[in-house]
């Protein structure tokens, strides 16, 4: 069994809707993010999504080290993937340093968003949409 000093990376799993991400953080000389073997800017083209992904690293002051972040993500939409990466990286940071838990929890990065798509009911067109009512 590997001890904490022998381990090369720390892994965290994040989920949101149908998106599942496996985030691995490794202490490094400079901060870089690779998502499915693409850079952060290539994978997430909007600034908003890029900000969501790196939020758990930038929004807390307790991190002195730089990390190399490697992510494998699948399923869901692009926003769900970004939010699942944020959860996975926050969980990995807590494994790295337990003292960061309080700050990450206060920011809401350790809570999995439980909202998912509601299932379709029989007799209806969608989950709640019914057929158009006609008087005659």
| pLDDT tens profile 72-95 | 999 999 999 999 999 999 999 999
pLDDT at 49: 95
Domain parsing of the chain, residue ranges: 10-107
Nearest to 100 by CA among 31, 48, 25: 25
The 10 Å CB-count burial string (b at 16+, else e) for 66-98 is ebbbbbebeebeebbbbbbbbbbbbbbbbebee
pLDDT at 6: 57
DSSP annotation of 100 reads: G
pLDDT at 62: 65
pLDDT digits (tens, 9 = 90+) for 26-38: 988 888 999 999 9
Q: Per CATH, which fold does 10-107 belong to?
A: Ribosomal Protein S5; domain 2 (3.30.230)
Q: Point out the residues of the chain with pLDDT beneath 70.
A: 1-7, 62, 64
Residues with Cβ < 8 Å from 47, sequence gap 6 or more? none
pLDDT at 43: 95
């Amino acid at each position: 069994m590997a001890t904490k000093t022998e381990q090369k990376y720390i892994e965290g799993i994040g989920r949101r809707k149908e998106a599942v991400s496996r985030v691995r953080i490794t202490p490094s000389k400079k901060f870089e993010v690779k998502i499915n073997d693409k850079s952060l800017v290539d994978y997430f083209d909007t600034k908003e999504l890029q900000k969501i992904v790196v939020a758990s690293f930038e929004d807390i002051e307790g991190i002195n080290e730089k990390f190399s972040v490697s992510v494998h993500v699948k399923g869901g939409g692009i926003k769900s993937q970004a939010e699942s990466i944020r959860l996975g990286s926050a969980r990995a940071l807590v494994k790295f340093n337990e003292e960061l838990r309080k700050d990450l929890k206060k920011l809401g990065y350790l809570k999995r968003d439980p909202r998912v798509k509601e299932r379709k009911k029989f007799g209806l067109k969608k989950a709640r949409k019914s057929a158009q009512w006609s008087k005659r």
